[in-house]
Structure 1
Amino acid sequence: MPNPVKVISPFELGGNDPFPIGDYGQRLLAQGDSWFSIGAIPPFKTTNVLDELQLRRWAVAVNCAAPGAVLRRMTDTVRAPQFVNLLRGNLAWRWSAILVSGGGNDLIEAIGAPPSAPRAQRLLLTPAERGAAGDAASYLSDEGWQTFSTYLGAVFAGLLDLRDSGINQQTPLLLHNYALLRPRPAPAGAGFGPWLQPALVDFEVPDNVWLAIGELLMKKLGQLLLDLAAQRVLAHPGAGAIQIIDSQAANLVLADAGSAGASGDWANEIHPTRDGYAKVAASWTLALDALPDPA
């Protein structure tokens, strides 16, 4: 029978009555963005991947994630001291796996660059630059994507360097791509989003290509993560495995065009509903259940 994962905060490991983490057969360290934490205001409007996880072993996940976090801040010793300490510091455990949800907010931050920014510093082309209408790729800046790829590659390497510098060098690290989505005017709450749709409006992108652009961006980000993982494994063959969970294979039902609230498997523009997260979590379950039992 599948067992729900017990999700706790890092603070529950300290104090006079610390959580009995050693009682669990699978101990997971999680870091990430809103797909691992809060994706709606109020929070009960949806859940997250970790809350929907069910595994064959009794498992606990120590969750350091926070909504809006970009990958470069997830391993910052100032901004994320609990995660760093639990990974390689004096509070470190030898974890069964390290789970990371990252890259999505970095992409959102990049796509938010205004039309006035240099071409190499934004992901979208201005109307003058793109000329006649074409496919989704014709709306994207190749120079900007190269800048983004270089940035994310450096941050990704920093994350793996951190893992490989302590007792968790051999611990598998699992990340994920993001499900294909439709840009739309659907915020997570007052003042929180939408994220992609405003940028497309600013760059005067016709709404009949919004879906294709949203899907292309998620596919490009997913391929970038796969490429970075393959390059890292090639350069460091003795370190722990790196796996990219395919959220896109979950085939989430797209939201309706122009919808401003929950629609399909989406609670808002970039966060799935509970059912959507459950579909994504099923892919994580397969990967985590396949890990060997603790020695």
Structure 2
Amino acid sequence: MIVLTDGQSARDVTEASQALAEEGIIVYCIGVGNVDPAELLVIANNDASKVIALDDFNALVAEIDQISIVVCEVAIERADPCFSQPCQNGGTCITLDENLSYECQCPHDYAGSHCEIHCAIDVVFVVDASSSIQNNWFNVAKQFIIEFDQCFTGQDIGLGVITYDCVPRTAIPLGLYTAGYGGFMYAIVRVPYTGGLSGTAMAISFMTYTSNFRAGVPRAAVIITDGDDQDGMSGVAAMAQDAMDAGITLYGVVNGGIPGFTNINALEVISGGADNVFSIHDDACQVAYRILGDLYPCGMEDETR
């Protein structure tokens, strides 16, 4: 918009100028003659580069060509479909169809028409380290997690580990490692076995309320246990429901433990059904690919080995 005035309005122009700015309208203010510079600046939404002050209309005639060039350059720029920077998260906007449309070229780990989708999952392992599991089966669980870590090919999969007996504790905080980085393998090897009573319900609750899940990223937890719990199934079911209500998809992995103590029904309750229950003897990549298939927001083409 071009406003031609002497800048001596009978009414305050601030509100009208702000309304135009909120609509994304660029205002050029041309003052002619005995102008009020302060009001010209307000009309141009306090952008001095959009204010042109001239002595008289003869000066306006002399400057009209240059003014036209400046205004037309802005109009052409605003017609560019990439002018509003529609691509998010570092995406690059590419104009198409002779500047009539655009597409976003997204950086790795982002997708969507505006690069608005974060291609990532956060996974927390909740690992039973109580006496019913025994040290050798705890080591089998750690090896399962190491193998799980090696199932991915470049996806942004955040990994964390919580262990528990009667008390849960964070062994590897979520946010330190993503799948495929060697540091995670060395960290899991150092996680100690503790023994003691089994508090699965408390461990699930601890995971739900203390894990540093990323905003906007799908969440999963893999519970590795024999299903034994000192507080009984009602507490486990309640804490599992709290986790699911928090947007966490639960999966169960039945670990060996002492013969006769394995409670597969408990794992089914935790994970919401038999389809989400696996065995510690299964290929860890079977669990990894299942989580990708259920939760990965960017498709799996050429994403897995």
Q: Same fold (TM over 0.5)?
A: no
TM-score computed with the length of structure 1 as normaliser: 0.32
- State the structure with more CA Rg: 2
TM-score of the aligned structures, taking structure 2 as reference length = 0.32
**Greater share of residues in strand:** 2
Q: Greater helix share, 1 or 2?
A: 1
Structure with greater contact order relative to length (CA < 8 Å, sep ≥ 6): 1
